[in-house]
Each structure stands twice: as C-alpha cells, then as structure tokens.
Amino acid sequence: MTLAVAVTGTDTGVGKTVVASTIAATFRARGARVGVFKPVETGVPAGTEPADSRLLKLASGCEDPLDVICPYALPDAVAPIVAASIVGRKVDVSQLDEALARVAADRDVVVIEGAGGWLVPFADQVTFATLCVRWNLDIVVVAANRLGVLNHASLTVRAIEPAGLRVRGVVLTTVYEREPNVAESTNAAQLARMLPGHKIVSFPFLSDPAHIPTLVEVGNNSGLLSLLGDK
C-alpha cells in the first residue's frame, strides 16, 4: 500500500462521501488498484445496504464485500457510539483493524471515510481521530463552502495537527446550486490566508454524485489529486 488517506469533515453532510468517491474513482481511472473503507455507517435502515459505502465500492471498482468495506452498518443516524448502543452493539477496533487490512491488501491507494467530524466517537475512548492515529493516515478535510466555514475548517485542521498527522489539504464543497454569495466567493482565498502552507481545493456542485464518469472528470479538473501528490 503506497497511499492511505482518511477523508474527514467539519460536520456531517458536507460531502465527504462524494469527495472520497471522487478520489477513489480518479485513481482507479489512472490505473491504480484502489481500496475503500468506511468503518461505520449510520442511518442505514434495516434490510438495506449502506449507501455511502456502496458508492465508495462502485467508485473504486474493488470486489471487496460491503460488509468488509463497512463492518458496522447501523440504523440510527447518530454518532457511531450511540447508534451501536441503541442496537446493543459496540464497535470493536480489532475488527476494524482486520477489515482495513483486507481492503488494503495489494492496493496502491486506500481511501478511508470517517463518520461526521474529526472527534466523533466510535466507541469509549475511540474517536475517528483515534483511528487515524492508530492507522497512521494522511488526512483530507472536507468543508462545506458556506458562512461559518472559516471557523469550522480552521478548528478541524488545528485539532488534527497536534496528533502528528499530515493534513493534505482542505476541500471546499459547493453545496448550493446557485450563484455564490459574498461568503462563498471569498472563503477559499481567506482560508488560504488563515491556513498558510495548506492547499485549498474547490469542489463543484454535482447534481448526480453517483455518476462515476463525472467524478473522474471533477477529480482530474479540480486539482483534488494535487492534495495527494499528483501534479
């Protein structure tokens, strides 16, 4: 495994899955062997497949079973520790270790998507931050380009850095299909001044985030892979 990157967010619903899937799909289109991993997905109704994990699998082209890509699919759309507790379960970190080892085997790139934000709890004394340190992952931060993002993105980056992990950059996702307002037009430049040394990439609004050719096009044209060493 030559590259292992975690995609975290400033909040839930900021576009982590779309960004993670775009990274996976673009690397795959360039000939890389790509694995994907989402340790816990919440908000998965009983008897259904985890939708975010399914998109990651589709984007990567991998053949790993969904229950390996996502070891814990839980019904309630709340923090993983709470969602697991509601159904009488606990997230077992050793099980996550084993599943990650499977998806990483013989892969050039592995993309790991978190749940919610950096400090969302998965189990007692275990947050997404804990897992990223345990697995020594580089980090991509996804933040919705809207009023408040300067604070949210800066807080997240500054929470990650003391853990000794490399922040590859911040992806500002376009969450509204309309002309940008003043905040949305200026956030990227201002964030670059607030986070010197960190790359900031703007990610467009996608009407169909499950259309893999569009993800590849965005991945190639947005500069997203420049965060991961591609020129």
Which residues does the annotation mark as catalytic?
A: 38
3-state helix, strand, coil in the chain (%, to 5): 40, 20, 35
User: 42 Cβ partners below 8 Å, 6+ apart?
Assistant: 74, 75, 76, 77, 78, 79, 80, 83, 115
Let me know: does 90 contact 84? Beta carbons within 8 Å: yes
C-alpha atoms less than 13 angstroms from C-alpha of 114 in its C-beta half-sphere: 33
Task: Name the CA radius of gyration of the chain, rounded.
Answer: 17
- Cα(152)–Cα(155) distance, integer angstroms: 5
φ, ψ for residue 127 (rounded to 5)? Answer: -110, 180
Let me know: does 141 contact 167? Beta carbons within 8 Å: yes
- Cα(77)–Cα(72) distance, integer angstroms: 13
- Cα(148)–Cα(170) distance, integer angstroms: 15
